Structure 1
Amino acid sequence: MIRHLKKEYGLLLIIIGLLFFTSCRRSTLFAGAVPLNGVWPKESAAKFVIPVSDTVSLYDFYVNIRHTQKYRYSNLYLFMETLFPNKTYTRDTLEIMLANPEGKWLGKGWGKIKEDHVLLKSKFRFPLKGKYTFLIWQGMRTDTLHAVQSVGIDIEKSK
């Protein structure tokens, strides 16, 4: 009888654990990054192609930056171009703050690498079905930016 109760108790714990992990997970449409290995020339764009079929749901759009503590600046300017399925496009200039005024890094990380997960737009809808292409360039006043390890984007369903 005790063995039977242990078995049921173990099964119950597994079910509770699965429910916890699946209920806390957000639905991700896309998550990807382009490795830069510490060197990002001004003319080199990170490219992300995302097929979209849902024009009803709301999404949150994040940019992810991984950099080392050797990064020389407290911010990072980015140029982002969005090519829509109907061949129209938009171009935006973004400023990502990587450190506070005292020089403390804002990103997470224990070692020399810091990761910034920055919300760009929340609760937006894709206007068209089809393939979207996102291009991201560094927009700093230097031809080659050093100490940036990768740039990426995450698109998740809004809560």
Structure 2
Amino acid sequence: MIRNRKERKKEIPNAKSQEMTGGKILRCIFIIFIGLGLFSCDTNQVYETNIELDNYSWHKDSVIQFQVDIHDTINPHNIYINVRNTSRYKMQNLFLFVNTSSPNGSSLRDTFECYLADDRGKWTGHGWGDMYDNQFVYKKNIRFPVSGIYVFEYTQAMRTDELEYISDIGLRIEKVEIR
């Protein structure tokens, strides 16, 4: 019997350490849910999707496409381009060709520059580890002329066949708050 007590004593610290681990896990889950709750209260967001690029590589012929169903033709909207890059990205900026097609058949082609680092090489945006998130204003206070499916297509325009260390590209559309 004494032997069993010693064995139980050995088991108790393990049980406590498992409880503490479980408590830490629950605490982390709680913090994550609180964070998501704070950031998910975005009532102006109409659309936001980010597409992960395979192996952080973007070929010059690869087109990133977003199809967005727009219903509101009354209120103005802002359109953003989301870019996530690693600290190994070799350039200060990123040029994109942006093609926008509307439901009525009209289309627009733009060249858009995203500044990912300042003149001293300091990365812009929000960093986490070696990843940096940026959100660039592409169009401000625009009204969509007709409702329906709009297609946004991005192609990298960096004069290199394979653009490395861009990990995600995205599109965000939000309704402008009228005050």
Q: Smaller-chain TM-score range?
A: 0.7 to 0.9
C-alpha root-mean-square deviation of aligned residues, in Å?
1.8
Per the TM alignment, residue 87 of structure 1 is displaced from its structure 2 partner at its CA by 1.5
AA partner of residue 163 (structure 2): L
**What is aligned with 1:25?**
42
How many residue pairs align between the two structures? 140
Pairs within 5 Å for 1:76-95: 76-95=94-113
CA distances 1:93-114 after superposition (whole Å, capped 9, x unpaired) = 0011000000000121131000
SS of residue matched to 1:66: strand
AA partner of residue 108 (structure 1): H
- The runs of 5 or more residues in structure 1 that have no matched partner are 1-20
Pairs within 5 Å for 1:5-16: none
**Higher relative contact order, structure no. (Cα contacts within 8 Å, ≥ 6 residues apart):** 1
Please state if 1:72 is matched with 2:129.
Answer: no
**What is aligned with 1:55?**
73
- CA separation in 2, counterparts of 1:44 and 1:61? 22
Please state if 1:108 is matched with 2:126.
Answer: yes
- CA separation in 1, counterparts of 2:128 and 2:149? 37
Q: Percent identity?
A: 36
- CA separation in 2, counterparts of 1:88 and 1:98? 31
AA partner of residue 45 (structure 2): T
**Structure number with higher helix proportion:** 2
- CA separation in 1, counterparts of 2:80 and 2:167? 17
Please state if 1:155 is matched with 2:173.
Answer: yes
- The runs of 5 or more residues in structure 2 that have no matched partner are 1-37
- CA separation in 1, counterparts of 2:108 and 2:176? 23
**What is aligned with 1:140?**
158
- CA separation in 2, counterparts of 1:77 and 1:136? 10
SS of residue matched to 1:109: strand
Moved over 3 A (4+): none
- CA separation in 2, counterparts of 1:89 and 1:25? 29
SS of residue matched to 2:103: coil
Which structure has the greater CA radius of gyration? 2
- CA separation in 1, counterparts of 2:77 and 2:108? 18
Per the TM alignment, residue 130 of structure 1 is displaced from its structure 2 partner at its CA by 1.0
- CA separation in 2, counterparts of 1:121 and 1:81? 13
- CA separation in 1, counterparts of 2:77 and 2:120? 33
Report the TM-score when normalising by structure 1.
Answer: 0.83
**What is aligned with 1:98?**
116
